[in-house]
Amino acid sequence: MSELKLYEALYNDCVHESAYATISIHLTKREAEEAIEKHKVDVAKSHFDGRLRNYEDWKISTTRLNIKGYALVPNEPAEEFKKAIKGKVFLTDNGLEQTYKAMIKAVGGE
């Protein structure tokens, strides 16, 4: 298997004027849900009254990372790749492609 299913935790600070941004990327939907719940707490704390706004929104999106063609440990299957990145959180300040490259690098790839 050379493809890995990932879950992106997404946040939109204003559904009327903005687009969703990736908070973090996870191996399981449950991890993405937990990241969203934590993010909601952090966002609420940032508001003067401690409440979320009705124009804010969160959601989970799935994406697939094709790890074939990346120089991983020779012939390392996707399951080993999953184990190597499990528990690590990859933030996406530099965009998804850079985040994926960081994930590959974290397991000794190029």
DSSP E strands, the chain: 3-12, 21-26, 57-66
Q: What is the pLDDT of residue 27?
A: 84
Task: Decide if pLDDT at 94 tops 60.
Answer: no
Q: How, if at all, do strands 57-66 and 3-12 pair?
A: antiparallel
Task: Decide if pLDDT at 49 tops 60.
Answer: yes
Q: What is the pLDDT of residue 72?
A: 44
Q: For the segment 14-42, what is each residue's pLDDT rounded down to a tens digit?
A: 999 999 998 888 888 999 999 999 999 99
Task: Decide if pLDDT at 95 tops 60.
Answer: no
Task: Decide if pLDDT at 107 tops 70.
Answer: no
Q: For the segment 54-89, what is each residue's pLDDT rounded down to a tens digit?
A: 999 999 999 887 666 554 444 455 666 666 666 665
What are the boundaries of each domain within the chain?
3-98
Write down the mean pLDDT value for the chain: 77
81 Cβ neighbours under 8 A, 6+ residues apart: 4, 67, 72, 107
Q: What is the pLDDT of residue 3?
A: 72
